[in-house]
Chains A and B, each alone.
Chain A
Amino acid sequence: MKSGKVAIGGDGNAPISWTARKDIARFLAHVLVHSPASRLQNQVLRLEGDRVVRFLLFLAQIRQRIDRITRSQSFNEIFRGYEERTGTKLDVTYRTIDSLRAKLAENAYDFDAYLHIIWATDGLVGEPDNGLFPEWNPTKVLDILAPRA
């Protein structure tokens, strides 16, 4: 990012769930102590560190659609935020999903192509369980990337 040049897969608008490691640790420490065994054993926890707003549960369907758009950070949202905060203009290269798939076909261990395909097509963890730790307050991507002084 310092060079001003970035390259990602797809069109950059796909929503992606991001979580910082120390926030994962804090969340796990909390739920492992406070949640009942029934919520933990043979269960799944979906964490989404970067998010914007949470609506009420009974607005479930509408909420899911709006939340999906507003809360998860797509690459373009992150780049826009970075440009606004730092005044640096980024030169973004968008690599098509097809070109990434071709790379993966050539080399099945191309981890970079593999990850960017996932991030461009299926980057969300699913309905988050953030509510299990109401005070979680995880770090936002933009605050990691371009912390306010």
Chain B
Amino acid sequence: MAALTTALADAHVVISTVSLMALDAQVPVAQAAKAAGATLFLPSEYGGPTDNLQGLLGAKGTLQDKLREVGPPLLLVYTGPFADYSWSQCVPSCMISFPRG
């Protein structure tokens, strides 16, 4: 925690872009951000609205309350799916193109 706080020492805004697998890691990061004096924290949203969502991505929504408790004020950024990731010619991992011919 101390190490995180030191790492965030001069940050005014902390932006998190961690993947779905590491969402919970944002809690200590938010705590450290607050301790370091940051005034804004952006959790890793960048998808559809999650404040009332069920299922796999719902974890992002429930995490928001925890982050509010321990961290700086939140800025939630909803963008819809990534246009570039979804639609570039990334055939193996495109969620839209399958079955692959």
List A residues at the B interface (Cβ < 8 Å). Answer: 1-8, 16-24, 28, 32, 37, 40-50, 75, 78, 93, 104, 108-109, 111-112, 114-116, 118-119, 122-126, 139-141, 144-145
Chain B neighbourhood of A28, CB < 8 A: 15, 42, 77
Q: Which of A5, A48, A50, A123 contacts B99 (CB 8 A)?
A: A5
Q: Which residue of A lies closest to B73 (CB)?
A: A41
Binding site for A on B (CB under 8 A): 13, 15, 39-40, 42, 46, 48-49, 55-57, 68, 72-89, 91, 94-101
Q: Determine the chain A residues whose CB is within 8 A of the CB of B49 once the complex forms.
A: 44, 46, 125-126
| CB atoms of A19 and B82 under 8 A apart | yes
**Majority SS of interface residues in chain B?**
loop
Say yes or no: A2 contacts B95, CB within 8 Å.
no
Instruction: Indicate if the CB atoms of B55 and A22 lie closer than 8 Å.
Output: no
Distance of A111 Cα from B94 Cα, bound (Å): 12
B68 CB contacts on chain A under 8 angstroms: 42
Query: Which of B15, B83, B100, B101 lies in contact with A49, CB distance below 8 A?
Result: B83
Establish whether residues B94 and A18, one from each chain, have CB atoms under 8 Å apart when the complex forms: no
Cα(A89)–Cα(B34), bound, Å: 53
10 closest pairs, A vs B, by CB? A3-B101, A17-B80, A41-B73, A18-B83, A19-B79, A20-B84, A125-B78, A20-B83, A47-B79, A145-B87
List 15 A-B pairs, Cβ < 8 Å.
A1-B94, A2-B91, A3-B100, A5-B101, A19-B79, A20-B82, A20-B84, A45-B78, A49-B83, A114-B55, A122-B48, A124-B80, A125-B78, A141-B87, A145-B88
- Once bound together, how far apart are the Cα atoms of A114 and B96, in whole Å? 13
Determine if A22 and B40 form an interchain contact, defined as CB atoms under 8 angstroms apart. no
A145 neighbours in B (Cβ, 8 Å):
87-88
| Cα separation A114 to B85 with both chains bound (whole Å) | 17
Q: Given the complex, which residues of A lie within 8 Å of B80, measured CB to CB?
A: 16-19, 47-49, 123-125
Interface of A, helix, strand, loop or mixed by DSSP:
mixed
**B residues near A40, Cβ cutoff 8 Å:** 40, 73, 75
Q: Is the CB of B85 within 8 A of A21?
A: yes
CB A116 to nearest CB in B, in angstroms, measures 8
Determine which of A45, A108, A119, A140 lies in contact with B81 in the assembled complex, contact meaning CB atoms within 8 Å. A119
| B77: A residues at CB distance < 8 A | 24, 28, 44-45, 47
